[in-house]
Amino acid sequence: MKAKQATTTDRVSYAGAKYDVQRQRNEKDVRKDQITEKRKLGGACDGLDELVQMIGDKDKNVNCMQKTRIDWDKHTKEENLEA
């Protein structure tokens, strides 16, 4: 099984632009990965697995307040203001 990562990257959409947001993984992410692994066909059907994943991965739309929060979190990490 793959090594568990502490963070995950989500793709969000705001005002027509797409952004990658890193966040801490939670139980929901682990369960989603387990379900995805169970549903994989494997073997000669790897192309189908990738197609199904591309169709299912939709960007989450965020509103102005959520985008502001994302930007603020990014700024505090870059400037070491987290404390």
Residues in the chain: 83
Residue 1: pLDDT band (50, 70, 90) is very low
CA-based nearest residue to 14, from 76, 82, 60: 60
Cα atoms found within 13 Å of the Cα of residue 20, Cβ hemisphere only? 4
Q: Is 65 or 24 the better-scoring residue by pLDDT?
A: 65
pLDDT of residue 5: 64
All structural domains of the chain with their residue ranges = 7-78
Sheet holding 17-24, edge to edge: 17-24, 7-14, 60-61
Report the distance separating Cα 83 and Cα 76, nearest Å: 9
| Residues in CB range of 41: below 8 A, 6 or more apart | 48, 49
pLDDT one-digit tens code per residue, 15-48: 888 988 888 888 888 888 888 787 777 777 777 7
Least confident of 31-40, 57-66, 67-76: 31-40
